[in-house]
Amino acid sequence: MNIVVAQSGGPTCAINASLLGVFKGAMKSRDIDIVFGSLNGIEGIINDDMIILNDYIRTYMDMEQLRQTPSTLLNSCRYKLPDMSDDKTVYEKIYNTLKNHGIGAFFYIGGNDSMDTVNKISAYLNELGSDIKVIGIPKTIDNDLTCTDHTPGYGSAAKYVATTVQEIVRDCSVYSINSVTIIEIMGRDTGWLTAATAVLRANGEIAPHLIYLPEARFSVQSFLSDIRRVQQSRRAVVIAVSEGIELDPNDIPSEIKNETSDNFGHRYLSGVGKCLENIVRREIKCKVRSIELNIMQRCSSHISSKTDIEEAEQIGTAAVDAALSGLTGKVMVFERVSDNPYTVVINSAEAADVANRVRYFPPEWINAQGNNVTDKAVKYILPLIQGSQDIHYRNGIPMHFRIGN
């Protein structure tokens, strides 16, 4: 039989490693022939827009490069399947593409939206009496999928964030004046990635002095008094803040609100760091800077976590094994056996249980003041950022594997 793999949702550093894991798992199986790659997620299957991956990934060095290439080799999409009862047309198109290409299994690497797709397509195929298997492979830097200890992509993003925040701490501590540096970190709903800045304490770092997650109630007044308190003993205050914290609109001075929300129809969500910067400048009157780590958080594969990338590849291969063993409608997940030595096993969960759900940062890992995380969070995150990839360079720049441009 042949198989098809697709990638969906926002890019990460690990999503191509999972693609490689599927590819290598297929190569090792006598039951699998061609590995198709669907372009633009599920859209490629709907529109029969696929490539034969075996024609592209040919050498050992191709695989090495693919593993260290961020983002999605096969592009991505944000397409949400309609309910089967509403519209069967698109399901029929999917089935036709799979059938016409002799495909026995479809692997979808993505977040909780993609697991919704896995759930729906497998249900449709079951109803049809088809034995085509559908398996989800998790990925998201947000680490917010249920049923799994963590998600591929999170460890690398966490390693980038911690490494970069440490460098920023060095940078902003050199002048002998009071300063506040606010670092805005991704995570619209959950604080997993922002919490990763706390791992610096394992190396004796005191900064970031304050950490704010969406899971804790945020108040501008407490924020300002937190800063004033830290300033009693520190010249340079460094703050990690999740993009997803909610500011009470009444707490935002009107001229700041105008700047950051109204003029161009943006909510302040895209610039909560800038908004807080302006508030601090106005209220505390010291040097203030806000830094948005922006998409570098999800694509800086030059500093990816070896643990993360290896696990991402393993879970891709495990998905192939799961399909071959007859499973369908499942998502592959990690179960942590122990923190030290760090041990995980790969299991599967129902896609229906992962689809469209969010796993929040545990409230018991947030301190009582709501401005930092506990050592339990550090213990959880540390194993996920261990090890560095040996990057292959050409002309001093990491080599990327591309198809087209």
3-state SS class at 292? strand
The answer to whether residue 11 forms part of the interface with a copy of itself (CB under 8 A) is yes
Query: Are the beta carbons of 11 and 108 closer than 8 angstroms?
Result: no
Q: Render the burial of 358-381: b for 16+ CB within 10 Å, e for the rest.
A: ebebeeebbeeebbbbbeebbebb
Kindly report the number of other CB atoms within 10 A of residue 284's CB atom.
16
The correct pick among 2, 130, 163, 231 for binding a copy of itself (CB under 8 A) is 163
| Binding span for a copy of itself by CB under 8 A among 104-112, 130-138, 174-182, 364-372 | 174-182
Residue with tokens 């670092």: 183
The answer to whether residue 339 forms part of the interface with a copy of itself (CB under 8 A) is no
3-state SS class at 194? helix
Tell me the two tokens of residue 251.
């707490």
| Binding span for a copy of itself by CB under 8 A among 110-118, 285-293, 313-321, 369-377 | 285-293
Nearest alpha-carbon partner for 236 in 227, 224, 245: 227
Closer residue to a copy of itself (CB): 77 or 147: 77
Closer residue to a copy of itself (CB): 18 or 305: 305
Where in 215-244 is the site for a copy of itself (CB under 8 A)? Answer: 234
Partners of 37 in beta bridges: 5, 51
The correct pick among 38, 179, 300, 371 for binding a copy of itself (CB under 8 A) is 300
The answer to whether residue 399 forms part of the interface with a copy of itself (CB under 8 A) is yes
| Binding span for a copy of itself by CB under 8 A among 253-261, 318-326, 336-344, 359-367 | 253-261
The correct pick among 206, 249, 276, 364 for binding a copy of itself (CB under 8 A) is 206
| Binding span for a copy of itself by CB under 8 A among 135-143, 185-193, 318-326, 382-390 | 382-390
The correct pick among 33, 127, 171, 375 for binding a copy of itself (CB under 8 A) is 171
The answer to whether residue 259 forms part of the interface with a copy of itself (CB under 8 A) is yes
The answer to whether residue 133 forms part of the interface with a copy of itself (CB under 8 A) is no
Choosing from 142, 144, 226, 308, which is the catalytic residue? 142
Residue 137 per-residue DSSP state: E
Kindly report the number of other CB atoms within 10 A of residue 176's CB atom.
8
The answer to whether residue 342 forms part of the interface with a copy of itself (CB under 8 A) is no
Active site residue 86: no
The answer to whether residue 386 forms part of the interface with a copy of itself (CB under 8 A) is yes
CA end-to-end distance (rounded Å), the chain: 30
CA atoms within 13 A on the CB side of 91: 21
The correct pick among 96, 225, 258, 343 for binding a copy of itself (CB under 8 A) is 258
List, as one string, the DSSP characters of 260-283: IIITTS--GGGGHHHHHHHHHHHH
3-state SS class at 239? strand
Kindly report the number of other CB atoms within 10 A of residue 289's CB atom.
16
C-alpha 258/C-alpha 25 separation (Å) is 53
The answer to whether residue 164 forms part of the interface with a copy of itself (CB under 8 A) is yes
Q: Render the burial of 206-235: b for 16+ CB within 10 Å, e for the rest.
A: ebbbbbbbbbbebebeebbebbeebbeebe
Binding mask 53-92 for a copy of itself (x = CB under 8 A): ----------------xxxx--xxxx--------------
Tell me the two tokens of residue 342.
């760090």
Closer residue to a copy of itself (CB): 1 or 158: 158
83: Cβ–Cβ under 8 A, 6 or more apart, which residues?
120
| Binding span for a copy of itself by CB under 8 A among 81-89, 109-117, 140-148, 250-258 | 250-258
The correct pick among 2, 51, 387, 403 for binding a copy of itself (CB under 8 A) is 387
Residues of this chain that interact with a copy of itself (CB under 8 A) are 11, 40, 43, 69-72, 75-78, 159, 162-164, 166-168, 170-176, 199-200, 202-203, 205-207, 234, 255-256, 258-259, 263-264, 278, 281, 289, 291-296, 298-303, 305, 382, 385-388, 391, 393-400, 405
Active site residues: 142
